[in-house]
Structures are given as C-alpha cells and as structure tokens.
Structure 1
Amino acid sequence: MPKARKRKAPITGIASTSDTSSSKSESSRAVIRRFHVLLKQQTQLQKSIIQDISKKTELADVEREIRELGGLESYQRMSVIGQGTDRGGGSEKVLIRWLKDKELHKTKKKLRLLEVGALKPDNYAGCSSWIEAKPMDLNSRHPSIAEQDFLLLDQEQNSEKWDVISLSLVLNFVPEALDRGRMLRLAHTFLLEGGHLFVALPLPCLSNSRYLNFDRFTDIMQFLGFTEVQRYWRQGGKMVYHLFQKKINTGPPLEQKLITVPENLTKKTILRQGNRNNFSIIL
C-alpha cells in the first residue's frame, strides 16, 4: 500500500507564529472592531480634555489599550492578513473591473489614481500601462506608500488633480462622522470633472446602522455632486462597493452649496430601531 503523501503547509510569507494564529478571521475582525471603538473614544476625549482635565486619566487608559493592541501597526497587519474579497482585501480588483467596463483602460492618457489607505504599494502594478497610482496611508508600511493624512492634503495643489480616488475601508476608520463627510467633500474637490470615486465599506455600515442606510448615503453623495455608477453587495456578504462619478457642470460651487446643506444631512437621525451600530456620515 503506497505511503500517504504528507500535505504541504500553505506558504504564509514572513508571518510569525503569532501572525498565523491571529490570521483567523474572527480574531483579526475583533482587533479591527476594537481599534475603531478606541480611536473614536480617543478623538472624543482629546476634544473634551480641553474643558475637563479629569478626562486625562480616561484618555491615558484608552491610549494604553491602543498600545497594548500593537498600535496602528497591529491594525494594518490584521487588514493585510484579511485579503479575502469578503473581508475587503483585493477591492482594487473590483475597481479595475469597473473602470474597464467603462473602457477607461483605452484612454490615451494614463488615469491618475489616488489610493487612500493603501496597505500594499503595488495593488495597481498590473495596470501600469493605463493607471498611474499614488498609494498613501496615515502610517506607511512601505517606502513607496506616502505617509499622509488625506484630510490634511493641500486643497489648492490637489484641486481637480485626480481621475480616480479610492477610499477602500477608509471612511469606516475615520473616528468622527463630520470628518467622514469632509473626506467625501474633499474627494469631490480633488477629482476632475467626470472623475470617479470608489468607496468600499463593511456592509453593516449601510445595512445595519442606526443612522445611515443606502438611501441616506445616496442623498449625501448626490448633494455633494456625485452620480452613482455602480454598486455591489450580496446578502450575507461583508462588504459593499460603490463607484461614483463627479458630475459635470454641477451648478453652484460645492463650497457655496454647503452653506445651505439640507438639515437631514447635517445631523444624526434615527433611521432604524433595535440593536444597530452607530456608523454615520454628516455634512
């Protein structure tokens, strides 16, 4: 009887033993969820400490737990491990397919793409003949990824500069709802007319939020001057993907429009009752 062949272990790159154990999907998702909670608390405490010095101890406790979790490096490692499509990894494949569907790979000039929250430097390397990508992240893991806060980008230098902006698993990592709205507004400012914005979010941000649903998100994007081109999600899935296009000749400048934002887009309004998450976007 022939000897049973020993099953080969999967190649996991440079992952250590601890990385391997933490790569289990539930473990990595738990770290990411906890990080979101802590960073939101950190932002709120940093603002309130100006009026209430007693919050200093509470802030120190939150920052200690962030360090104990490994800081942003730990969050990024969990995100890199989660490269399955269901967990948001490989979202560039969705964007590339949609851009090809619009035949934008046939344009004479390369598309200038700003990839916000990039964890790897070469997501678009296979499209280098028609995409000129600039990856950036708050905490760069690679010399080719610019270390930069999107919210602090120079508005004058980036105004109508980009053909495509990718916000994949970025909005949900911004602690404040108002900053999420500001990020979308800046994306509109930075895109050329007719340019495209790609947004990938955990599905519960829209399907199970107390304050945000698909219709409200669409209202926000339309007010900002975007038209929805593509949307993909599936029942039981973990992600939702959107492709928006910046409208051409949208009338009054966006800054002028924002003076009279509809009231329902400027505050949190309960849209669903029951056991829900608190994700929201406001202008």
Structure 2
Amino acid sequence: MVVKRNKRPVRTLAQGRPPTVQKPKSISRKATRGLINTIHQLEKKKAQAVAKGDKAAEVAADSEISSLGGIQKYQQASLQGQRNDRGGDSSRVLMEWLKPKFHTSGLTADGSLRMLEVGALSITNECSNSGFFDMERIDLNSQGHGILQQDFMKKPLPVNDTDTFDIISLSLVLNFVPNAQGRGDMLLRTLDFLKKPHATGPHDAFPCLFLVLPAPCVTNSRYMDEPLLERIMQALGYMKTHSKTTQKLVYYLWRRTSPTPTKVPAFRKAELRSGSTRNNFSIVLSSSTL
C-alpha cells in the first residue's frame, strides 16, 4: 500500500519576507489614474484655499487627501505606473536619447555626469542603473534609502560650480505643482542648479533638463500648447533637442544654451483653445530682472 504524502507548498522568497517589506497590492490601471487625478485636484483646491486665506476649505481639502491615503498612496500609484507592464519608467526614454550622444563622444559609464532627480520614487530606474550618472535624488516625501526628503523650491543654492548638475529630471513633477505661478518659478529655479552652458565640448547634450508631463497638459489645455511651452523655455535659455508624445505622456529634453537671462519676459495665463472638455493647465512667468 502506497502512502500518499501531503505536498508541502512551495515557498518563494517573497513569502519568506517579513510583512513590513512585502510588496503592496497591485492597483488597477483605472484606479491608479483616478487616484492620481483626484489628489492633483485636491492639491489645487488646497492651494487656492491657502491663497484666499480660507482655512476651513484648506482643512477640508487636507482631510480628503488624508482619507485617500495622502502622498504615500499617491506615490504608490506612481510607482505602480512605472512597472514595465504599465509602460515602464520615463527615464528609459531619456536614455534612448542620450546613449547615441555618449557613444559619439566616447563617454564611458564612469559616473562623471551629475544628475538631480526631483520627485524621485526609485533608486533602480534606467538612469540610476546606467552607470553614467552620479545621482542625487530628492522628493517631498522620501520613500526609502537613497532618496533625500527635500523640497526642490527650498533646496539650498549651489555654493560653486561643483555643486551644480549636468542634468535635472522633472518627470511628472511640474504638473503636481498646484498653481501656474509656482510652475513658472520651478522652471526658473532649474537655472540655479544647472551648470553654465558651454559653446563647445565633448558632451554637447549638456547641461539639460528632462521634462515629462501628462500629455493633456500640452495637447488639451485651454492655456498651454507646445509652441507656447517652447517660447517659455526659450525665454529661460533652453532649446528643445528631443520630444516624444504618447497617448498619456509628453517627454522633452531641453538643452541649456544661454546664461541666466538678466530679464525674464512675462507669460500670463491666456486662453489659446476653447471647449468644455479642455483642462486648465498653465505656466505663468512674471516679468522680472534677475
């Protein structure tokens, strides 16, 4: 008589991990988009309430954000969107653009280029793994080792050129700034942290700014389109070298070609396209002398 043995379940490494490091439950595509959009809208409501001095409305918006899980839940949704089956992380596009430049200039993966990643969610994205960059990662709410908890708008200014960067990444960051003037201020502040442009050199792709936005910010806004975005960036001393538009995102690489301008022209919020289905994304720059 053969005695049947109960098969022991096969245990994976993930099953053996303590609960504190288990992977979070996957969020569906629809739920991911809905959560991110809702928190964006609530952050805008909060910013408007703060501007008006409406404390009750500010507290109400904060309460709603907290009920959804706050910034931690937003970041979980964002990380979910970086999975390969959701399109992968945006820095893959950046590396597709830069690798030919590295090849022609003979640059090796020696970490000689300094990169500031604003709104970093991971230390294992394509740029981090490439070996070309000495990475500095910051985020308002750091989710782990290797990412400094810091507000880019409050980051101490560089003391000298060695503290500046060859490239800054603003991937799905600018759209999270709750007001148009704040977005303009953020773009202007990138000039403080980028190296000065050079007329010639072996790495003519740098210094540069990698900018990623939800596609509707540019393709379906009442107040923003690509020609206007180009004019704003040109006024700051940037030239567009690469761009890519997908159904969900727009990717740009802007090379800094001019020193910090002594005077910035004004770019105000003005309707470019009408229609009830348009969104209200905009960027405002106040006329100022630097």
| Coarse TM-score class (shorter-chain normalised) | 0.7 to 0.9
Match of 2:283 in 1: 281
Match of 1:35 in 2: 39
Q: Counterparts of 1:203 and 1:84 in 2: how far apart (Å)?
A: 19
| Maintained 8 Å contact 1:138/1:147 | yes
Letter in 2 for 1:232: K
2:22 to 14, 17, 20: 14
Letter in 2 for 1:167: L
Q: Counterparts of 1:273 and 1:74 in 2: how far apart (Å)?
A: 34
**Residues 1:227 and 1:85: Cα distance change in structure 2 (over 3 Å):** farther
> Please, which runs of 5 or more residues in structure 1 have no aligned partner?
1-10, 50-54
Q: Counterparts of 1:144 and 1:220 in 2: how far apart (Å)?
A: 33
Give 1:196 deviation, angstroms.
Answer: 1.0
Match of 1:45 in 2: 49
Q: Counterparts of 1:30 and 1:181 in 2: how far apart (Å)?
A: 26
SS in 1 for 2:207: strand
Q: Counterparts of 2:122 and 2:55 in 1: how far apart (Å)?
A: 36
2:250 to 236, 240, 251: 240
Letter in 1 for 2:231: D
> Please, which runs of 5 or more residues in structure 2 have no aligned partner?
1-13, 16-20, 198-205, 286-290
Letter in 1 for 2:43: L
1:116 to 112, 118, 121: 118
Match of 2:273 in 1: 272
**TM superposition score normalised by structure 1:** 0.82
Give 1:87 deviation, angstroms.
Answer: 6.1
Letter in 2 for 1:76: Q
Q: Counterparts of 1:111 and 1:99 in 2: how far apart (Å)?
A: 12
1:16-165 alignment runs, 5 A limit: 16=24, 19-20=25-26, 23-49=27-53, 55-84=54-83, 89-103=88-102, 106-107=106-107, 110-123=112-125, 124-128=127-131, 130-157=132-159, 161-165=164-168
- Of structures 1 and 2, the larger Rg is shown by 2
Q: Counterparts of 2:106 and 2:194 in 1: how far apart (Å)?
A: 20
> Deviation string for 1:87-140 (max 9, x for gaps)?
674111111121112227833671100011111122233212x21111111100
Mean CA deviation greater in 117-126 or 80-89: 80-89
SS in 2 for 1:103: helix
**Residues 1:158 and 1:229: Cα distance change in structure 2 (over 3 Å):** farther
Q: Counterparts of 2:217 and 2:85 in 1: how far apart (Å)?
A: 15
Match of 1:179 in 2: 182
Match of 2:263 in 1: 257
| Maintained 8 Å contact 1:88/1:239 | no
CA-atom RMSD in angstroms: 2.3
Mean CA deviation greater in 201-210 or 187-196: 187-196
1:211 to 223, 239, 250: 223
Q: Counterparts of 1:181 and 1:126 in 2: how far apart (Å)?
A: 31
Letter in 1 for 2:77: M
SS in 2 for 1:141: coil
Q: Does residue 200 of structure 1 match 2:212?
A: yes
> Deviation string for 1:35-58 (max 9, x for gaps)?
011111111212221xxxxx2222
Percent of aligned pairs with the same residue?
38
> Deviation string for 1:214-271 (max 9, x for gaps)?
000000000100010000114xx10110001000xx36x42x212xx1x4x1x11000
Q: Counterparts of 2:160 and 2:64 in 1: how far apart (Å)?
A: 36
| Maintained 8 Å contact 2:158/2:192 | no
**TM superposition score normalised by structure 2:** 0.81
**Residues 1:205 and 1:86: Cα distance change in structure 2 (over 3 Å):** farther
Mean CA deviation greater in 69-78 or 177-186: 177-186
Match of 1:220 in 2: 232
**Residues 1:118 and 1:89: Cα distance change in structure 2 (over 3 Å):** farther
Q: Counterparts of 2:97 and 2:160 in 1: how far apart (Å)?
A: 24
